[in-house]
Protein backbone atom coordinates (compact mmCIF):
# COMPACT_ATOMS: atom_id res chain seq x y z
CA UNK A 1 0.00 0.00 0.00
CA UNK A 2 1.26 3.48 -0.87
CA UNK A 3 0.86 6.17 1.76
CA UNK A 4 2.02 9.75 2.37
CA UNK A 5 2.83 12.48 -0.13
CA UNK A 6 2.02 16.14 -0.48
CA UNK A 7 0.17 18.18 -3.04
CA UNK A 8 2.62 19.36 -5.69
CA UNK A 9 0.48 20.60 -8.54
CA UNK A 10 2.03 23.84 -9.76
CA UNK A 11 -0.04 27.00 -9.86
CA UNK A 12 -0.57 28.62 -13.26
CA UNK A 13 2.57 30.40 -14.39
CA UNK A 14 4.91 28.69 -11.92
CA UNK A 15 7.25 25.89 -12.89
CA UNK A 16 6.15 22.41 -11.83
CA UNK A 17 7.82 20.96 -8.77
CA UNK A 18 9.81 17.74 -8.87
CA UNK A 19 7.69 14.68 -8.22
CA UNK A 20 7.61 13.39 -4.67
CA UNK A 21 8.64 9.77 -4.00
CA UNK A 22 4.93 8.92 -3.75
CA UNK A 23 4.20 10.53 -7.12
CA UNK A 24 7.14 8.67 -8.65
CA UNK A 25 5.76 5.38 -7.29
CA UNK A 26 2.22 6.18 -8.53
CA UNK A 27 3.60 7.02 -11.97
CA UNK A 28 5.44 3.69 -12.01
CA UNK A 29 2.20 1.89 -11.13
CA UNK A 30 0.07 3.81 -13.65
CA UNK A 31 2.75 3.47 -16.31
CA UNK A 32 2.83 -0.31 -15.88
CA UNK A 33 -0.84 -0.63 -16.90
CA UNK A 34 -1.03 -2.48 -20.24
CA UNK A 35 -2.55 -0.73 -23.24
CA UNK A 36 -6.01 -2.27 -23.84
CA UNK A 37 -5.50 -2.50 -27.61
CA UNK A 38 -1.81 -3.46 -27.57
CA UNK A 39 -1.34 -5.34 -24.29
CA UNK A 40 2.28 -6.05 -25.17
CA UNK A 41 2.93 -2.34 -24.38
CA UNK A 42 2.48 -0.46 -21.13
CA UNK A 43 1.01 3.04 -21.06
CA UNK A 44 4.48 4.38 -20.21
CA UNK A 45 6.07 2.60 -23.20
CA UNK A 46 3.28 3.83 -25.48
CA UNK A 47 3.97 7.36 -24.25
CA UNK A 48 0.37 8.31 -23.39
CA UNK A 49 0.96 8.78 -19.64
CA UNK A 50 1.85 12.46 -19.21
CA UNK A 51 1.80 13.17 -15.47
CA UNK A 52 0.80 11.82 -12.08
CA UNK A 53 0.49 14.24 -9.17
CA UNK A 54 -1.07 14.21 -5.75
CA UNK A 55 -3.81 16.84 -5.76
CA UNK A 56 -4.50 16.53 -2.03
CA UNK A 57 -4.34 13.96 0.75
CA UNK A 58 -5.44 10.61 -0.70
CA UNK A 59 -6.20 12.22 -4.05
CA UNK A 60 -4.22 11.75 -7.29
CA UNK A 61 -4.57 13.43 -10.68
CA UNK A 62 -3.35 11.48 -13.71
CA UNK A 63 -2.96 13.04 -17.15
CA UNK A 64 -3.29 10.92 -20.29
CA UNK A 65 -2.96 11.92 -23.93
CA UNK A 66 -4.80 9.64 -26.36
CA UNK A 67 -3.05 8.40 -29.48
CA UNK A 68 -5.68 10.33 -31.43
CA UNK A 69 -8.70 12.44 -30.52
CA UNK A 70 -11.66 10.17 -29.91
CA UNK A 71 -9.53 7.07 -29.23
CA UNK A 72 -11.97 4.54 -27.72
CA UNK A 73 -9.23 2.97 -25.57
CA UNK A 74 -8.85 6.08 -23.37
CA UNK A 75 -11.87 5.03 -21.28
CA UNK A 76 -10.40 1.59 -20.58
CA UNK A 77 -6.98 3.12 -19.83
CA UNK A 78 -8.54 5.53 -17.34
CA UNK A 79 -10.54 2.80 -15.63
CA UNK A 80 -7.48 0.52 -15.34
CA UNK A 81 -5.35 3.34 -13.87
CA UNK A 82 -8.06 4.24 -11.35
CA UNK A 83 -8.32 0.59 -10.26
CA UNK A 84 -4.54 0.11 -9.89
CA UNK A 85 -4.00 3.31 -7.89
CA UNK A 86 -6.99 2.60 -5.63
CA UNK A 87 -5.64 -0.90 -4.98
CA UNK A 88 -2.43 0.79 -3.83
CA UNK A 89 -4.08 3.06 -1.27
CA UNK A 90 -5.18 6.14 -3.21
CA UNK A 91 -8.94 6.42 -2.62
CA UNK A 92 -9.58 9.33 -5.00
CA UNK A 93 -8.13 9.10 -8.52
CA UNK A 94 -8.94 11.59 -11.25
CA UNK A 95 -7.79 10.70 -14.77
CA UNK A 96 -7.98 13.63 -17.19
CA UNK A 97 -7.44 13.69 -20.93
CA UNK A 98 -4.84 16.20 -22.10
CA UNK A 99 -4.79 16.96 -25.83
CA UNK A 100 -1.85 19.37 -25.94
CA UNK A 101 0.84 18.62 -26.72
CA UNK A 102 -0.63 16.02 -29.03
CA UNK A 103 0.64 12.45 -28.82
CA UNK A 104 3.06 11.38 -31.54
CA UNK A 105 4.50 8.01 -32.44
CA UNK A 106 7.82 9.57 -31.43
CA UNK A 107 6.49 9.25 -27.85
CA UNK A 108 6.78 5.45 -28.04
CA UNK A 109 9.84 4.43 -26.05
CA UNK A 110 12.72 2.41 -27.49
CA UNK A 111 11.55 -0.51 -25.33
CA UNK A 112 8.03 -0.09 -26.72
CA UNK A 113 9.34 -0.16 -30.29
CA UNK A 114 11.35 -3.28 -29.51
CA UNK A 115 8.29 -4.99 -28.01
CA UNK A 116 6.11 -4.08 -31.01
CA UNK A 117 8.60 -5.68 -33.41
CA UNK A 118 8.98 -8.72 -31.16
CA UNK A 119 5.18 -9.06 -31.10
CA UNK A 120 5.07 -9.00 -34.94
CA UNK A 121 4.00 -5.36 -35.40
CA UNK A 122 6.31 -3.12 -37.42
CA UNK A 123 7.03 -0.12 -35.18
CA UNK A 124 6.52 3.38 -36.54
CA UNK A 125 9.48 5.06 -38.16
CA UNK A 126 10.89 8.05 -36.26
CA UNK A 127 9.90 11.45 -37.60
CA UNK A 128 12.38 13.30 -39.74
CA UNK A 129 13.83 16.13 -37.64
CA UNK A 130 15.84 18.07 -40.20
CA UNK A 131 18.99 17.60 -42.22
CA UNK A 132 19.26 15.17 -45.10
CA UNK A 133 16.26 12.92 -45.63
CA UNK A 134 17.19 9.32 -44.77
CA UNK A 135 16.89 6.84 -47.64
CA UNK A 136 15.63 4.00 -45.43
CA UNK A 137 11.94 4.88 -45.63
CA UNK A 138 10.67 1.33 -46.22
CA UNK A 139 8.57 -0.51 -43.66
CA UNK A 140 10.56 -3.57 -42.60
CA UNK A 141 8.89 -6.92 -41.99
CA UNK A 142 8.99 -7.71 -38.26
CA UNK A 143 9.26 -11.44 -39.09
CA UNK A 144 12.21 -11.56 -41.52
CA UNK A 145 13.49 -7.95 -41.66
CA UNK A 146 12.92 -7.52 -45.40
CA UNK A 147 12.15 -4.04 -46.69
CA UNK A 148 10.20 -5.55 -49.61
CA UNK A 149 6.70 -5.02 -48.15
CA UNK A 150 3.41 -3.85 -49.59
CA UNK A 151 0.41 -2.04 -48.15
CA UNK A 152 -2.75 -4.17 -48.12
CA UNK A 153 -5.01 -1.79 -46.19
CA UNK A 154 -4.55 1.64 -44.60
CA UNK A 155 -6.48 0.30 -41.60
CA UNK A 156 -6.01 -2.88 -39.61
CA UNK A 157 -7.32 -4.15 -36.28
CA UNK A 158 -7.16 -0.61 -34.85
CA UNK A 159 -7.21 2.79 -36.55
CA UNK A 160 -3.58 3.44 -35.61
CA UNK A 161 -2.29 0.42 -37.55
CA UNK A 162 -2.09 -0.47 -41.25
CA UNK A 163 -2.04 -3.98 -42.71
CA UNK A 164 1.00 -4.91 -44.79
CA UNK A 165 2.46 -8.07 -46.34
CA UNK A 166 6.07 -9.05 -46.79
CA UNK A 167 6.98 -10.04 -50.37
CA UNK A 168 9.98 -12.04 -49.12
CA UNK A 169 8.42 -14.31 -46.48
CA UNK A 170 4.76 -13.83 -47.49
CA UNK A 171 3.62 -13.05 -43.93
CA UNK A 172 1.02 -10.35 -43.28
CA UNK A 173 1.76 -7.94 -40.44
CA UNK A 174 0.48 -4.80 -38.79
CA UNK A 175 2.43 -1.56 -39.05
CA UNK A 176 1.91 1.05 -36.34
CA UNK A 177 1.35 4.17 -38.47
CA UNK A 178 3.42 7.27 -37.91
CA UNK A 179 1.61 10.28 -36.47
Q: What three-state secondary structure class fits 65? A: coil
Residue spans of the domains in the chain: they are 21-97, 108-176
State if pTM tops 0.85: no
Strand order in the sheet with 49-56: 49-56, 59-64, 92-97
* Residue in 177, 144, 145, 172 with CA at minimum distance from that of residue 161: 177
Is the sign of the CA dihedral 87, 30, 62, 4 positive or negative? positive
What residues pair up with 149 in beta bridges, in sequence order?
A: 166
What number does CATH give the domain 21-97?
A: 3.30.300.130
Q: What three-state secondary structure class fits 116? A: helix
pLDDT value, residue 167: 96
pLDDT tens digits in sequence order for the chain, 179 residues long: 444 444 344 445 556 789 999 999 999 999 999 999 999 999 999 999 999 999 999 999 999 999 988 888 999 999 999 999 999 999 999 999 999 999 999 999 999 999 999 999 999 987 655 555 555 578 999 999 999 999 999 988 888 889 999 999 999 999 998 87
Amino acid sequence: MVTGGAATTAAAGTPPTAPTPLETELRRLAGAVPDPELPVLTLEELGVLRDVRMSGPGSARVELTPTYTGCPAIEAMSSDIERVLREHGIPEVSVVTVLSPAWSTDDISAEGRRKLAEFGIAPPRPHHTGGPVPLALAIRCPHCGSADTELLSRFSSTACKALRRCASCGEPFDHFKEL
